[in-house]
């Protein structure tokens, strides 16, 4: 690892959509400054609609895999752990060995949206676009490490 890069962990319940898209967005926009990771409390497969929504903006997350938070606990230091849902915020260990700063961005779960495939894909687009906005605000602040921005 490049010691100048901050490690960021995006955490949600299933590690199938929100955290996967966040990981891909941060890698795409600031791979030179951050190492992006994602995990879930109860990991599921990466949602194909998340892959499709990201492909629409030229970011390929098809090679990413769902991971459990336990893969990282006590094994890696993160400058930031960013929870992306209320369940992850509630359930994330209060004492996470190797955690710098914890942020919470509560976003809807696009995987929970029902309806036509078009309606479901639109939910993934909304979440993707909101994640992109937050990540673009986070990048200049977060590059300084745990003492940098607490953007919500």
Q: Which of 12, 6, 36, 18 is nearest to 140 (CA)?
A: 6
- Among residues 12, 22, 103, 127, the one annotated as catalytic is 12
The percentage of residues in the chain with a pLDDT greater than 90, rounded to a whole number, is 66
The percentage of residues in the chain with a pLDDT greater than 70, rounded to a whole number, is 86
CA atoms within 13 A on the CB side of 54: 28
Give yes or no: 12 in active site.
yes
| Bridge partner list, 38 | 10
Question: Which pLDDT score, from 0 to 100, does residue 82 have?
Answer: 93
The verdict on residue 83 lying in a domain is yes
Strands (DSSP E) contained in 6-84 are 6-12, 34-40, 78-83
Per the structure, the complete domain to which residue 70 belongs is given by 6-142
The verdict on residue 104 lying in a domain is yes
- How many domains, the chain? 1
The verdict on residue 72 lying in a domain is yes
- The CATH number covering residue 63 comes to 3.40.50.2300
pLDDT digits (tens, 9 = 90+) for 6-54: 999 999 989 999 999 999 999 999 999 999 999 998 999 999 999 999 9
- Among residues 85, 88, 99, 103, the one annotated as catalytic is 85
- Among residues 92, 99, 127, 135, the one annotated as catalytic is 92
Strands (DSSP E) contained in 33-136 are 34-40, 78-83, 99-104
Give yes or no: 45 in active site.
no
The verdict on residue 147 lying in a domain is no
The verdict on residue 66 lying in a domain is yes
């Amino acid at each position: 690892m490049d010691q100048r890069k901050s490690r960021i962990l995006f955490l949600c319940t299933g590690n199938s959509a929100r955290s996967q898209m966040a990981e891909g967005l941060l890698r795409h926009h600031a791979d030179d400054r951050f190492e992006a990771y994602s995990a879930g409390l109860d990991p599921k497969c990466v949602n194909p609609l998340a892959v499709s929504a990201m492909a629409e903006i030229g970011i390929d997350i098809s090679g990413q895999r769902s991971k459990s938070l336990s893969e990282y606990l006590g094994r890696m230091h993160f400058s930031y752990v960013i929870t992306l849902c209320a369940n992850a915020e509630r359930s994330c260990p209060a004492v996470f060995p190797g955690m710098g700063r914890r942020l919470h961005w509560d976003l809807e779960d696009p995987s929970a949206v029902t309806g036509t495939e078009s309606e479901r894909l639109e939910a993934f687009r909304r979440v993707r676009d909101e994640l992109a906005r937050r990540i673009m605000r986070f990048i200049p602040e977060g590059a300084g490490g745990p003492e940098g921005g607490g953007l919500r």
